[in-house]
Each structure stands twice: as structure tokens, then as C-alpha cells.
Amino acid sequence: MTTPVSVAFTETELDLIASAEGRVAVFITPDGKLDQAGRRVNRLMKGTLARIVESGALEKKSAGDIISLAWPVGLSAEALDILILPRNASVEESRRAGVALGRSKGTKPLLLLGASLKRPVEVILGAVLRAYEFTPHKTSETQEGGAITAMVAKPDEVEAAAAPALAVAEGVFFTRDLVSEPANHLTTTEFANRILAMQDIGLKITVFEESDLERLGMGALLSVGHGSASPTKMAVMEWQGGPEGEPPLALVGKGVVFDTGGISLKPSAGMEDMTMDMGGAGVVAGVMRTLARRGAKANVVGLVGLVENMPSDRATRPGDVVTSMKGDTIEVINTDAEGRLVLADVMWYAQETYQPCGMIDLATLTGAAIVALGHENAAVLSNDDTLCNTFLKAAKAEGEGAWRMPLGKGYADLMKSQIADIKNSGGRPAGTITAAEFLHRFVQDGSAWVHLDIAGVASVKSETPYAPMGASGWGVMALNRLVADMLEGD
């Protein structure tokens, strides 16, 4: 796993600034005010910071922006990063400043002169999240980056406050790694093994093999993997941090490690991106890692269906009818609409086994979600306003875009089949909504449920607020916040 950059917290020692190597970060307010460390840097650099203020350069910058100077005179560091941040900077502004540092940091150590920061933890979280690089398959590059040393007021208190945030970063990195891995490395077996390894951090892990899934009657899930040599599995991660006997929150993820479309074969252009079709399962695994790492005082169970969708002489065909664990029969109209078959059985198992207080599923489910919302927001659909609004509030607080879309009988009717109880595709119109209505059929009466279609946000071709191009880790922060708000409140 890619390890987040290490962070050390110390008292401010002005005499160490001149000899610090790598990069030094200093903060300046939009109106040009310097704190004690900033004044020391200005003196070492013979008034450079004062001249930048006098030049009017700050007038063109926003809170969270950065000015970088290479080989600053008077310092041993290779670069000085000047962060523009007001004294009472918001969470968003503080994280934005940290992201700017993480983007410029590279593999060099960073000395953060943050004694005057109102929200040092948010700055550090932003820097750690943005400093991510996925390099396991690059022979000439290392994953190790230089450490961050944060000179802050009351370092022991800041370190304690930062521990949960750094646990979130670890979960985000775990998700990004899973989503970034090529399918010949992240097989269903390897994915299950990485989940099993989390027993070492306190999660209870159970992996169900194909014989177990057959016994449970998971014909929908199993049908997706018929064409692949990789065995279909279901992995269950349990975290018992709340009161004994309290129903858990269930998180369910689609884990299609590679999606060719099956017999309904996808076009070759862009098919290489289908290594990320396990993004929902990746987020669930990352959230569970975060909860364990920070010792969440909540009961949460994560369940993921792990499968590969391949064409072969054994593959499910368009027109086939399969039987779900619930007992409903499903006409397979399109074998590329496979994620909902995976989720249907895993969701039903989650409800039958755990009677959860709420259930949230995540999947890179439909291209229609990208058509509707682009890459700025995940599609959110729900049968429960309270659970849905709690999630939307958490997503907004964490800066992860999410937008609610409707459900309704008219959409559900589009999924009726002439030869089975339901079909797996309602055609192109309202594709994100009809997919959710398919899943809605597998939500038991009285169960609060939220469906997150993350097709547009799991992995993208441009930089996102907290990540470089590629896997974003979207959802780990929002769901961790949801758990805290919903299950760990006073």
C-alpha cells in the first residue's frame, strides 16, 4: 500500500529555519501580515517577503494560493513556499493551502511553519492527501516521499487532533491504490487477500467463496463471473466499535475488477479504464480501514462483491434469466449492466444477516451518471430523506461533490420484464435512475437506503480537489464523516 507521508509535530524553533533542507513553507495573510516565523524568514532573506508584499503580488492571489521561490537566498532549502491564508481561514481555505503544498512538495522534506495557523490539521490533511503518487509499477521511481515537520503551537494537542485525519488519509490512499491497480495485479483473489490483511488492524474479515455463494443462492452475483477464470467472491468486513447488539450501518460495494461488458462487449476505446470498475468496493474497503485506524465508536459492516466480467463459452448471455438470493428472477438484457446484479445479492445478504440501521451502496454503475453530472458530483438516490440528507451534509462538509436525483414508479416500470420478475436494463433514458430502481427492488421494507453512483468521480482524467489525475478516493472522507455524525454523536 502507498504510505501517506509521515508527519512530525514540534515546537517552533526559529534557529532551525535557516538550515532546513528540502522545502520551507511560511504563511502570510492576504493583507501582508507575517507571524514570528515569517518575520524570521524575511530577515534571513534580507527583506524578500516584505518586497513581495509591497509589489502588490498578493492582490492577485486568493486564500489558499501559493507563491514558490526556488533556491531562496539566506536559506539552505531548495524552495520557499509562501502560503496566502487569513488568520481565521476556513476549513476549505486551510485544506486548499495544504493541497498547494502537497502538489509542489514532490519527494523533498517539508518544514511547515504553522504556529499561527487556526486549523493546522486541515492544512496538513490537504498536503498529505495531495502528495499521493501511485508508483508500484514504475521501475525508476520510489514511493517514499520526504517527511513533513510541522512547527505548531501546542504540538502534542495538534498531533492528537491530527491522528483521526491521518487515519482518513490512510483509508483514502488504500482506496486510490485499489482503484489504480491494473486488473492483472488486482484479481478477485488479490483483492480479497488485501481485505483479509486488514484483520491485523482489528477488522473481522470473512471471505465467501463460490461454493458459499451458491449455497446462499446468489445467482445474480455468480452470473456476472461465469465467463471468467477468476473466482467470484464476497468479502465482509466488520467493525464493532459501538455498543454491543446495536445494529450496524451497512456499506455495500461493487467490486468488478475488470469489466469487458461480457457478451455485450464494450468498444475497445477506453476499455483500459475498466480496471476502476471496482471503485465502489475500493471506497468501502478504504472507509473500513479508516474506521479501524481511528477506533471509531460505531458498528459498521462493509460488504463487497468481487467478480470479473469476461466473455467466454461459459459467460452469461443476453436473454438469460438468473435467480437472485431474494428469489426474484432477472432477465439479463445487457451483460454490461452487471454491477446491479452484483449489488442486488450483496445488499440482500447484508439486510438478511445484519438488519442494519441503514444501508449505503456504492458503484461505478452507469455512464449516464457522467452524462448527467460530469465529474463534479456523484449521483445520490435514496428512499429515506433523513439518511440521504445526513450523507449530503457530510459530503458537503468534506468537499466531495454529491447531487440527489429522483426515484419513482414511472422509472421502476421501465424495468419490468415480459419473461421474468425484472430485467437488468431499462434502456438509455434516465439510465442512472432506472439502475437505482432496479436496486430499490432489493431494499427490504422499512430499510433506509442510499445509492451512490460514483462512475464520474472514482477516477478522472484531471486533478481533483485533493488528488492528482487518476483515482480520487472520493467517498472515504464523506462516509467517515457520516459515521461520526450519525453513530458517534454525543
146 in Cβ contact with 108 (< 8 Å)? yes
Q: Which helix H or strand E contains 256, and what residues bound it?
A: strand 249-259
3-state SS assignment for residue 14: helix
Cβ-proximal residues to 244 (8 Å cutoff; 6+ apart), any chain? none
Cβ-proximal residues to 270 (8 Å cutoff; 6+ apart), any chain? none
292 in Cβ contact with 173 (< 8 Å)? no
Q: Which helix H or strand E contains 193, and what residues bound it?
A: helix 188-196
What amino acid occupies position 390? Answer: T
Is the four-CA dihedral 321, 312, 260, 208 of positive or negative sign? Answer: positive
Write the CA distances from 449 to 173, 351, 418, 443, integer angstroms.
Answer: 27, 11, 28, 7
Q: Which helix H or strand E contains 117, and what residues bound it?
A: none
The residue behind cell 489504480 is 180
Question: Within a 10 A sphere around the Cβ of 76, how many other Cβ atoms?
Answer: 13
Active site residue 266: yes
Give me the count of residues in the chain: 490
- CA quadruple 285, 287, 292, 297: dihedral, nearest 10: -140
Rounded-to-integer distance, Cα 449 and Cα 359, Å: 5
- Phi and psi for 330 in degrees, rounded to 5? -130, 125
Rounded-to-integer distance, Cα 205 and Cα 192, Å: 10
Catalytic residue among 33, 108, 118, 266: 266
Active site residue 39: no
Cα–chain center distance at 279: 8
Catalytic residue among 194, 233, 293, 340: 340
Rounded-to-integer distance, Cα 145 and Cα 417, Å: 55
Residues annotated as catalytic (active site), given as ranges: 266, 340
